[in-house]
Structure 1
């Protein structure tokens, strides 16, 4: 099942751009790099879901494969990067990364880095390929 339906791609792109624009405005008002970790623009639940799904769709295009599962609860999950697939008895791949929506969108949009969010304890990652820093930020502009 695709992370975003083809007819929702434009809505997802629009929602992601809106989130990024609001986040950049908030980023201009922060006093320190640590304050960037609190940036959390509010969108409607539907728009937030569309922004997450579209950004995960973009991630899949950049790094296709079955080896790492990226979960952004409660909105979506995708499998990316080459590597061992999940075994038939356990559908979870050996590498799993779990993030909150705002954490994911901050990194996807270049507001914060993987390292900043990891150091702050905002990333739950298990496995050998638990660093997506080489794939972020995503090209959204």
Structure 2
């Protein structure tokens, strides 16, 4: 069983977000932010009915409902790290991500609108 994701240190998150927004991410920034925000999603939307994938960094099963145990889950969300970070910080809405083909969602309970954003962008009040 894979190790459970854990939120990152807030200072590390703020530093990584600043570098990503400046277009100068360091190695590991996208991984740190992706895993951090997926960990927050696990806390906000506990369950195992929807798999959220952000390749190549991580995937989590979230949202209450029918538990998935083997094979491809019946409900899948997939996106890239930059889009996931934008969704998690509120820089992009769920509907904008889907309409712009920056995220895909198939199956029941894949609307992540009730759970997003997960964290305020650095410098936001």
Verify same fold: TM over 0.5. Answer: yes
Q: Number of residues paired by the alignment? A: 120
Q: Which has the larger radius of gyration?
A: 1
Displacement of 1:116 in angstroms is: 0.9
Q: How do 1:32-47 residues align onto structure 2 when only pairs under 5 Å count? A: 41-47=23-29
Could you tell me which runs of 5 or more consecutive residues in structure 1 were left unpaired when the two chains were aligned.
Answer: 27-40
Greater helix share, 1 or 2? Answer: 1
CA contact (8 A) 1:16 1:52 kept: no
Could you tell me which runs of 5 or more consecutive residues in structure 2 were left unpaired when the two chains were aligned.
Answer: none
| TM-score, length-scaled by structure 2 | 0.82
CA contact (8 A) 1:3 1:53 kept: no
CA contact (8 A) 2:19 2:25 kept: no
| TM-score, length-scaled by structure 1 | 0.73
Change (3 A) 1:20 1:96: same
SS at match of 1:105: helix
Corresponding position of 2:3: 2
SS at match of 1:48: helix
- When the two chains are superposed, the root-mean-square deviation of aligned CA atoms in Å is 2.2
Displacement of 1:117 in angstroms is: 1.1
CA contact (8 A) 2:47 2:62 kept: yes
Deviation readout 1:94-120 (Å, 9 max, x if unpaired): 100000000110010111111111111
Query: What CA distance in whole angstroms lies between the structure 1 residues aligned with 2:18 and 2:27?
Result: 17
